[in-house]
Amino acid sequence: MRVFVADVGIISATGAGVENNLCRLLDMQHGLNGKSSYLDADTDYYVGRVALSNEELRDMFGIKTKLSRTSLLSLHAVNECLKNFHPNCRMGFISGTTTGGMDKSESFCNQYLTDPKNARISDVVYHTCGSATASIASYLPKLNYISTISTACSSATNAIILGAQKIKYGQLDAVIAGGSDSLCRFTLDGFRSLLILDNDRCKPLDLNRAGLNLGEGAGYLLLVSEDFAVKHGISPLCELKSYANVNDAFHATALSDEGDGPYLAMKQTLAKANLSTEKVDYINLHGTGTVNNDLAESAAILKLFGETYPPLSSTKAYTGHTLGASGGIEAVFSVLAIKEQKVFPNLNFTTPMDSGIIPVLKPKTQKVKYVLSNSFGFGGNCSSLLFADIQIITN
């Protein structure tokens, strides 16, 4: 059973909605303008902050309940990818996240420390990753399956993989799959303790890279089966051709310098699609801007593709590293690369690493039939998706 992408939805630091994000990508306008002092007065790092407040997000959907920011961002992106989708079907919702409702828990803790009697213990109800998914599910059409994936920075990608499997094996007709994460003090402090935050705007793949910038946002795909697409006259944006998830079992928070995990994820994805490396037209890299990630991913690229690697870039210098949402956001960008027949540039690159890999530096119009999208998480959890251009399906 083939799996198609019927629609996409996104919100990130570069804008709310697909069109805003696409315009910013092509205009090379990043969203890393905010400093993180609102999270922690002792730090002054760049972050990719979504411009809309929680109140503005709630007002968009007439929500009176004070949902977590992760849930509100998720609802915005999910609503966009469902805007033209109404048929009755066996529908699933699979969402990846790492922070869940942690922002609400932090709000409770801050209030409790200053005024215990007025702290809202109900805020803690939103804390878990699963509660963020459940909160959104209540605003969606009837669902036959709901699940949450939390595998660090590969969460959304693994949600998409699970959604595709549910369709492929005939368990569901359509799945909303992707991820959402919001900025919070816990993740900022955690990444700061690992010494992998850049004081300046991040420089993926650059010799002088110094770390990542955290971001927030949400990205989702509406996946449908081939039979469902034909039956309802849906014209898919592309096909989710193949995917793979592996674990290099190397380190709790780092990849091996040889890039074993990234290499296996990409290799298995292409092998399942029976596709040669020469057919890949673009790779959306995980590309965080940390010393370890870019070294490992570059090593994997050279091992698999050799010196004739395809055009590639990281888009995290636009959005920041959105953690559990990154795979969903970058899957949307990969679909847009096929839809628009363009590859997107890698910002802030000036000096090649020792590997010699040079990313795309300007928006480029070219044939884009096959796109690889990479996501790598803590614990060595590495995943890749392969999207393919297709002919429009009609009745």
Which among 73, 284, 289 has a CA at the least distance from the CA of 181? Answer: 73
The one catalytic residue in 153, 184, 202, 238 is: 153
> Hey, what are 178's tokens?
């992707």
CB 238 within 8 A of CB 6: no
The phi and psi torsions of 128 (rounded to 5 degrees) equal -70, 155
Q: What is the dihedral of CA 36, 37, 38, 41, to 10 degrees?
A: 140
Q: How far is CA 264 from CA 101, 133, 152, 321, in A?
A: 33, 30, 18, 23
| CB-neighbour burial class of residue 167 (10 A; exposed 0-12, middle 13-18, buried 19+) | buried
Quote the distance between the C-alpha of residue 316 and its chain's center.
Answer: 10
* 29 three-class SS: coil
Which among 263, 240, 259, 248 has a CA at the least distance from the CA of 175? Answer: 240
| Residues near 320 by beta carbon (within 8 Å), at least 6 away in sequence | 13, 31, 32, 46, 47, 48, 202, 212, 213, 214, 215, 216
> Hey, what are 43's tokens?
């730090």
232 is catalytic: no
153 is catalytic: yes
The one catalytic residue in 30, 76, 127, 286 is: 286
CA distance 369 to 282: 9
CB 255 within 8 A of CB 380: yes
321 is catalytic: yes
Q: Which helix (H) or strand (E) holds 149?
A: strand 145-149
CA distance 73 to 70: 5
* 243 three-class SS: strand
* 343 three-class SS: strand
Catalytic residue positions, numbered: 153, 286, 321
